[in-house]
Amino acid sequence: MHSAVVAKEGSENFEIASERTLYPYVTGTSVIGIKYKDGILMTADMGGSYGSTLRYKSVERLKPVGKHSLLGASGEISDFQEILRYLDELILYDNMWDDGNSLGPKEVHNYLNRVMYNRRNKFNPLWNSLVLGGVKNGQKYLGTVSMIGVHFEDNHVATGFGNHLARPILRDEWHEDMSFEEAVKLLEKCMLVLLYRDRSAINKLQIAKITEEGVTIFEPYSLKTFWKFSAFHNPTKGAEGSW
C-alpha cells in the first residue's frame, strides 16, 4: 500500500515501484441511508464489478461497527476491507479501556473523516465513499465521507449515482416520522430508479437497520423489474443522426 523507491546499482536513475491502489478493480455502486422514526435504514445492492464486468453478485457492503454504528461503502472492495480492519482495531482499543463507555456514530464518523483525508494527503487514497449511521442515547446520526475526506451530515445521504438520482426523490418524499415499512418502500423505489439507469447495479439488494437495540442486517432479496417499456425496445427513436 506504499510507494517504494529503488536505486539501480551504479546508476543515478531511480525506479519508483508503486504498491498502492492506483486504479479501483472490484467496485460496488451506490449506498443509500435515511433516518426514520426508530433509527437509521441503509441499503446497497450486492454487485461487485470487475472493471466494467459485473463479476460478483453476493458482495456484502453493509457492516456493523461497534455497538452503535452501521457502515456502508461504495467503491473499491479491497479498500473497504482495509477500512474494516482499521475500525476493528479502533473498537478493540476502545473496549480495552473497560470504562463502560463505547464509541458512538459521531465519533466513528469523525475517525473516518480523518482517515480518508489523511490518506488523500499522502496521495494514497482509499477509493471509497462511505455512509455511516447510528443511534446512541436516543440520538440518530447519519453522515457520509468521500475518498478525499469531504464529509457532511444529513437526514438522507447517498453515494455514487444515488447522489444524483436518488437524492431528488428523497428530498420530495422523505419525512422525519416515517415508519419502517414506509422507509423500506422509499429505499426500494430509489434502488429501482438506480437499477434502470446504472449499468453496474443489480436487482439483488440488502437492507440494514440500526436502532437503540442494535444492528439488524436483513437477508438479501431481489426487486421485481419491468423491461417492456417502449424506450428500452427502441432507445434511439427520435435521436436524429445517432449511430
Q: Establish if 229 belongs to a structural domain.
A: no
Instruction: Supply the CATH number for residue 93's domain.
Output: 3.60.20.10
| Candidates 21, 29, 211, 225; catalytic one | 21
Q: Which has the closest alpha carbon to 158: 37, 27, 42?
A: 42
Position 243 scores a pLDDT of 55
The pair phi, psi for residue 4, each rounded to 5°, is: -115, 140
Q: Which has the closest alpha carbon to 2: 19, 27, 26, 17?
A: 19
User: What is the number of structural domains in the chain?
Assistant: 1
Q: Establish if 1 belongs to a structural domain.
A: no
Position 61 scores a pLDDT of 97
**pLDDT one-digit tens code per residue, 160-184:** 999 999 999 999 999 999 999 999 9
Q: Establish if 148 belongs to a structural domain.
A: yes
pLDDT at 12 over 60: no
**pLDDT one-digit tens code per residue, 179-237:** 999 999 999 999 999 999 998 999 999 999 999 999 999 999 999 998 888 877 887 77
| Domain housing 100 | 23-223
Q: Establish if 13 belongs to a structural domain.
A: no
Q: Is 21 a catalytic residue?
A: yes
Q: Establish if 232 belongs to a structural domain.
A: no
Average pLDDT over residues 59-88: 97
| C-alpha–C-alpha distance, residues 123 and 2, integer Å | 10
| C-alpha–C-alpha distance, residues 84 and 92, integer Å | 12
Alpha-helix runs per DSSP H in 97-150: 105-121
Q: Establish if 62 belongs to a structural domain.
A: yes
